[in-house]
Chain A
Amino acid sequence: MQRPLLEVKSLKKYFPIKSGILGRKVGHVKAVDDVSFTVNKGEILGIVGESGCGKSTTGKSILRLIEPTEGEITFNGQDITKLNTEELRKLRRDMQIIFQDPYASLNPRHTVEKIIGEPLLVHGMTSKVERSSRVKELLEVVGLSSYHASRYPHQFSGGQRQRIGIARALANNPQLIICDEPVSALDVSVQSQILNLMEKLRDEYHLTYLFIAHDLSVVKHISDRVGVMYLGRMVELTTKDKLYEEPKHPYTQALLSAVPDPDPDIKKERIILKGDVPSPENPPTGCAFHTRCPHAMDICKQKRPEFQAVENYHFVACHLYQDGVQ
């Protein structure tokens, strides 16, 4: 089998909590706590979870936009956690990111040409003429027109801005794009335009996406495999069809049942979870989900379940599916 493009092993990111005038460390927020997964070349791996589950931190840690606390990130066979700044800069040509908020991620003082041309300049395209023609080409690729190059971000709508963000990410022909909630700020009719564009680009440029979102229907539409995160941990990871048809983890089941469906004929058994997501500052012992889980057992409070395969390509972290129980 081919080696995966990206391999993440026991990734951890703890943010220190500081207090007092001396800024003493008083604890940790375990934003990402021991997450492992792989992304194969050409696939779209979706990561879903509620706010605060650590999905964005995972995405940013992979690019080292946030320094991970621990763990290995192997990209094309190279462990990128050990690279120095210069090596990392070169590598970023192959790994790009699209951000959630197209209003905040484009510099309002720069023209579109400068915004999209900047990554080209950084990676060695020094000729202005060359850059300008590449920018125009990119604009056409994402469905804008070449004359848009001289405009400023405020002259565009949300969907158009997101297209500029995508063009910027594409500029250096990357292999992997991390998409951090790329459509959640957009209206439904514009959202489907962007999703279709992203799929088209994937096919044309043989891209690989790590697609982070909280909307389960969007992730289902675009992904090949999907991972579900809860409180900094991956609780389930499998192919899209398996996850949506036979979810195994009780959290995944509840999450899927909570999504309101626009088809009035679909009557489903709704699992309404009690309470809120606990604070990642002081997560519950054992399985992080046991405080809200309808199937919680004694062992769940004491022992953290291993994230392991229960079937081919179906990974679950839950005591219900571990050997010796049930």
Chain B
Amino acid sequence: MSEVILELQDLSTHFFTDYGEIPAVDRVSIKVHKGEVVGIVGESGCGKSVTSLSIMQLIPSPPGKIVGGEIRFKGENLALTTEKRMKKIRGNEISMIFQEPMTSLNPLFTIGNQMIEALRIHQKISKKEAKEQSINMLKRVGIPRAEQVIDEYPHQLSGGMRQRVMIAIAMSCEPEILIADEPTTALDVTIQAQILDLMRILNDEKETAILLITHDLGVVAEICERVVVMYSGQVVEEGTTREILKDPKHPYTQGLIKSLPKLHEKEQKLYSIPGTVPKPKMDRKGCRFASRCERAFDRCFQVDPELFLIEGERKSRCFLYDEKKGDGIDRAASSIRS
């Protein structure tokens, strides 16, 4: 496999609020290889967005703070780097696109203005060259009439077009990694298909790695190679997309997939995970999912499970896999039944 360009090692980001310390991201480790598309999936409040903001050092501080762990980008630990250095990295080597394209573009400046700004900060080129490059970039992301659009304001474009502009800005400096935080959630399905298609093309052509944050398992199946499932601030399962979707190991992932209505199957009644996602809090004992888990046993409520290695890169944070090989599952499961 190609080299690792981004590696999170036990990253912990906590928020210090009036109600106490909240471990929004709790010892998260994720690897992204060159040119790879990795998905982070989870429900709202699981810490997936905070993870991505931590990588970019965009956590509002206070109340947020990275309290532990490393963010290794090509060998450099971003958690310790200076703001000056981060400014060089952001938008140049690591870019980010957000969920809501309307709020991430400045309504007071033209599209061209915002694109040229990003280019000129990171590259020594003239305004004219920057404008030419911007027009080319807009054409590449499939914007018709690029020469005119560059002089237009964000409100003159539709949601899908704005997201294309965001991608154009993010890709203009040819970053090594693109972090996409729910890039298609605000868009309609037909537009979502266009944007996913575009991201796939850019990934192929430029070998840009993509870290895609989403709650939609369909989007993951569409574009990701590897998937990390998060729950209540922790990584609970990791594997290739096929492994996760076809053979989920963690009871949470299993429940999540079973509770989706499928387009190509007929199901009578949907499975549903009882209860709701617990809020992360300090000093929690045991597995975060135990109270909603059908297969939980005594140990789950007392001891915090580690991320057990099943085989290769396949990991699951569940005591059912507390033996190096897979046969532990059945034994543990039968011990619950008896």
| Contacts from A to B (Cβ < 8 Å) | 50-51, 157, 159-160, 187-193, 195-196, 199, 214, 216-218, 220-222, 244, 254-266, 270, 272-273, 276-277
Q: Is the CB of A221 within 8 A of B220?
A: no
Q: Is the CB of B193 within 8 A of A270?
A: yes
List B198-237 residues whose CB lies under 8 Å from chain A. 215-222
For the complex, what is the distance from the CA of A189 to the CA of B44, rounded to whole Å?
11
B43 at the interface (CB under 8 A from A): yes
Within the complex, the shortest CB–CB distance from B267 to chain A, in Å, comes to 7
Within the complex, the shortest CB–CB distance from B142 to chain A, in Å, comes to 9
Find A259's partner among B160, B189, B274 (CB 8 Å cutoff). B189
Q: Report if A193-B272 is in contact (Cβ < 8 Å); known contacts: A221-B261, A262-B257, A265-B246.
A: yes
- Most chain B CB atoms below 10 A, which of A187, A262, A270: A262
Find B197's partner among A257, A261, A272 (CB 8 Å cutoff). A272
Q: Report if A263-B245 is in contact (Cβ < 8 Å); known contacts: A214-B188, A258-B193, A272-B194.
A: yes
Q: Is the CB of A264 within 8 A of B246?
A: yes
**Across-interface contacts of A187 in B (CB, < 8 A):** 43-44, 215, 277
Q: Is the CB of A196 within 8 A of B260?
A: no
For the complex, what is the distance from the CA of A193 to the CA of B271, rounded to whole Å?
8
Q: Is the CB of A276 within 8 A of B160?
A: yes
| Contacts from B to A (Cβ < 8 Å) | 43-44, 158, 160-161, 188-194, 196-197, 215-222, 241-242, 245-246, 255-257, 259-264, 267, 269-274, 276-277
Q: Is the CB of B273 within 8 A of A263?
A: no
Q: Is the CB of A260 within 8 A of B43?
A: no
- Most chain A CB atoms below 10 A, which of B190, B217, B218, B245: B190
Q: Is the CB of B271 within 8 A of A255?
A: no
Q: Is the CB of A221 within 8 A of B273?
A: no
Q: Is the CB of B259 within 8 A of A191?
A: yes
Q: Is the CB of B192 within 8 A of A260?
A: yes
For the complex, what is the distance from the CA of A192 to the CA of B271, rounded to whole Å?
7
**Across-interface contacts of A263 in B (CB, < 8 A):** 221, 245-246, 262, 264
Find A188's partner among B196, B241, B256, B276 (CB 8 Å cutoff). B256
Of the A-B pairs whose beta carbons lie under 8 Å apart in the complex, a sample of 26, sorted by A's number, is A50-B189, A51-B188, A157-B276, A187-B43, A187-B277, A188-B256, A189-B43, A192-B261, A192-B271, A214-B189, A217-B260, A217-B261, A217-B262, A220-B261, A221-B267, A244-B263, A258-B189, A259-B218, A259-B263, A260-B222, A261-B221, A262-B257, A263-B246, A264-B241, A264-B246, A265-B246
Would you list the 10 A-B pairs with minimal beta carbon distance, nearest first? A260-B218, A221-B261, A192-B259, A50-B188, A262-B217, A258-B193, A187-B43, A192-B272, A192-B270, A189-B273
Q: Is the CB of B260 within 8 A of A188?
A: yes
**Across-interface contacts of B197 in A (CB, < 8 A):** 272
For the complex, what is the distance from the CA of A254 to the CA of B194, rounded to whole Å?
12
For the complex, what is the distance from the CA of A190 to the CA of B278, rounded to whole Å?
13
For the complex, what is the distance from the CA of A209 to the CA of B264, rounded to whole Å?
23
Q: Is the CB of B43 within 8 A of A261?
A: no
**Across-interface contacts of B259 in A (CB, < 8 A):** 188-189, 191-192
Q: Is the CB of A258 within 8 A of B192?
A: yes
Within the complex, the shortest CB–CB distance from A92 to chain B, in Å, comes to 30
- Nearest A residue to B217, CB-CB: A262
Q: Is the CB of A190 within 8 A of B276?
A: yes
Q: Is the CB of B221 within 8 A of A260?
A: yes
Find A199's partner among B221, B241, B245, B269 (CB 8 Å cutoff). B269
Q: Is the CB of B261 within 8 A of A255?
A: no
Q: Report if A189-B272 is in contact (Cβ < 8 Å); known contacts: A217-B262, A266-B264.
A: yes
Find A258's partner among B190, B261, B276 (CB 8 Å cutoff). B190
**Across-interface contacts of B269 in A (CB, < 8 A):** 196, 199
For the complex, what is the distance from the CA of A50 to the CA of B267, rounded to whole Å?
25
A50-B188, A214-B189, A258-B189 are known; give 8 further A-B pairs, CB within 8 A: A259-B263, A260-B192, A260-B196, A260-B221, A262-B218, A262-B260, A263-B245, A273-B194
Q: Report if A217-B273 is in contact (Cβ < 8 Å); known contacts: A258-B189, A260-B196.
A: no
Within the complex, the shortest CB–CB distance from A14 to chain B, in Å, comes to 22
For the complex, what is the distance from the CA of A276 to the CA of B142, rounded to whole Å?
12
Q: Is the CB of B242 within 8 A of A264?
A: yes
Within the complex, the shortest CB–CB distance from B292 to chain A, in Å, comes to 8
- Most chain B CB atoms below 10 A, which of A50, A261, A265: A261
- Nearest A residue to B270, CB-CB: A192
**Across-interface contacts of B262 in A (CB, < 8 A):** 217, 261-263
